[in-house]
Structure 1
Amino acid sequence: MSYVAPIFIGIAYVLLMCLVREPHRRRLNAVMVAGAGAAYLSGGGLGGWEFAFTALSTYVAYRGLDSWTFVGVGWLLHTAWDVVHHLKGNPIVPFAHGSSLGCAICDPVIAVWCLGGGRTPAELLRGARATRMTESTEIGSGVR
Structure 2
Amino acid sequence: MQYLLPIGIGLLYALLMSLIREPHRRRFNAIMVAGAGAAYLSGGGFGPWELAFTALVTYVAYRGLDSWTFIGVGWLLHTAWDVVHHLQGSPLLPFAHDSSLGCAICDPVIALWCLLGGPTPRELLAAARAALRPPVREEQFR
Q: How many residues align?
A: 142
Q: Deviations over 1:12-52 (max 9, x none)?
A: 00100110111111111100000000000011111000000
1:100 lines up with 2:103 in the alignment: no
- Please list every run of 5 or more consecutive structure 1 residues that lacks an aligned counterpart in the other structure: none
Query: Structure 1 138/122 Cα, relative in aligned 2: closer, same or farther at 3 Å?
Result: farther
**Residue 60 of structure 1 contacts residue 70 of structure 1 at CA under 8 Å; is this kept in 2?**
yes
Query: Within 1, Cα distance between the matches of 2:81 and 2:72?
Result: 14
Which residue of the partner structure matches residue 42 of structure 2? 42
Which residue of the partner structure matches residue 5 of structure 1? 5
**Residue 83 of structure 1 contacts residue 104 of structure 1 at CA under 8 Å; is this kept in 2?**
yes
1:16-31 matches, within 5 Å, as 16-31=16-31
1:51 lines up with 2:51 in the alignment: yes
Name whichever of 80-89 and 96-105 sits farther off: 80-89
Q: Deviations over 1:95-133 (max 9, x none)?
A: 000000000000000001111111111112333455567
Query: Within 2, Cα distance between the matches of 1:55 and 1:85?
Result: 17
RMSD of aligned Cα (Å): 1.9
**Residue 72 of structure 1 contacts residue 114 of structure 1 at CA under 8 Å; is this kept in 2?**
yes
Query: Structure 1 88/133 Cα, relative in aligned 2: closer, same or farther at 3 Å?
Result: closer
Which residue of the partner structure matches residue 126 of structure 1? 126
Which residue of the partner structure matches residue 86 of structure 1? 86
Which AA in structure 2 matches 1:33?
Answer: V
Q: Deviations over 1:65-120 (max 9, x none)?
A: 00000000000000000001001152111100000000000000000111111111
Percent of pairs with identical residues: 73
Q: What's the offset of the Cα at 1:140?
A: 3.0
Relative to the length of structure 2, the TM-score reads 0.92
Query: Within 2, Cα distance between the matches of 1:121 and 1:138?
Result: 32
- Please list every run of 5 or more consecutive structure 2 residues that lacks an aligned counterpart in the other structure: none
Which AA in structure 1 matches 2:87?
Answer: L
Which AA in structure 1 matches 2:34?
Answer: A
Query: Within 2, Cα distance between the matches of 1:101 and 1:28?
Result: 25
1:60 lines up with 2:31 in the alignment: no
Which AA in structure 2 matches 1:32?
Answer: M
Query: Structure 1 7/133 Cα, relative in aligned 2: closer, same or farther at 3 Å?
Result: closer
**Residue 92 of structure 1 contacts residue 99 of structure 1 at CA under 8 Å; is this kept in 2?**
yes
